[in-house]
Structure 1
């Protein structure tokens, strides 16, 4: 459809021929204006058409809709009424008489009316138009919700109970990755784990142009601590699953037993011995020293124990550690 401007007020004496061509031109201009409704969609409530409390009726108003007669879209008035039985495009010819001449189809009135006709629509397919301010408010709310729901940052380690690692994540198994394949993750991790200790206790070597994720297989994780040499560096590792105690780790203690013997005629020996006093109640019950107590020697017991290791872990539960990579 071409756009033609009418120079109505620039003619001499401001007279302009009002003929059928002029009226057709004006009608086409109105059609061009209606095309702007496509910005909002093909079936849009422009104004009015408020729904009653029961949701069964709508007030009068205007809608933009693409119809068979105007596939590019037109603005039609809604006559108001019930919405439960559908609506259709009502088209009525309007007659005009002028200069002793009848024009039975001088005008055609088009509107949307309740009921069923040749071209039907449903209110459920129409949407209410939003102002720019309303759209900006909704957009801000949507952005805030998206921000709240966005995934964890790259490099975040999480526990995973699923069978397969989810898309965009990697298993924290110390694997070597090409920097060009994961540039954002490489920027986050750097080379921190390139020489870290593997799950088997051996330090990794990493090729140029590659980097590694942490190897957390079979590991407990402890928080990084600048004031503790054991925990100062990310990627540091230590600890043992089982430990055999060393002599210096056992609390100081001893074992001995009392080796009794009876000695007559003051036959008390010298050395590592002691006496249990009996007040003359031993042997012949005489008054000499050998009847006054039970001498004994001190001896160490035989050694026992196999020196095996003992469990050095708290109660544990196995899950996989994964890291967001993309």
Structure 2
């Protein structure tokens, strides 16, 4: 089993002047601790569940490019980019650039978008839900075409690309893994089965029983499109606060390992976590010396 780190907040001690260095240090600590991947949200404004709208929020791909320069091994992705944020051809070019400059470490995180406030705030069109899902599917089709090196014109309902040229191509072949965010059973999980390489379930939004059901729905979609279910990387996103002694309702290393083991038994390949105390070196020390080495030995059910 693998463990990833998401960084959803950039409001840290030292303020804005120290933000870049703090972020760089966190990325380096994550790599040294043995995290498999590093993720940032792709939002314009901070989202309510994480803090006030006015709190600091970095642009996702600039932040990942900065992290790529400060690290050597850890995978890098957005959790996740809203399909409305960027024209699809430019988005694929951006992810490809990250993959090339990081020597093949990019994930392509993509979803249907949901935060209307930040769209209206910065003047970005926010179409209805049905249209956003149509745009998501077209973007996934464009991504596959561009990463396959197919330059023929793309003619969709919402997007028309005269020559989807993508040079240089990605380091990872056939392309950076595509993680589709969301857990809708009728649309999102179908898109995962048809176009994706990974899915993500938020442990804040679905219970473990609900997640088991959704995994079965994904399996059914895979059967429908003729895709091996095992080809899809199953990931979760949750929040963990770690301390040596479990003080103040935090998890001890043993409790964290037990939680990861439970997810692996459900078939989860990678548990992505965020940590409220991410600027504190203590949880990274616990992860490096006790938690991640143990979790890497846990077998994932169905693998």
TM-score in same-fold range (> 0.5):
no
Using the size of structure 2 for normalisation, the TM-score is 0.17
Using the size of structure 1 for normalisation, the TM-score is 0.16
Higher relative contact order, chain-length normalized (CA < 8 Å, sep 6+): 2
Indicate the structure with greater helix content: 2
Indicate the structure with greater strand content: 1
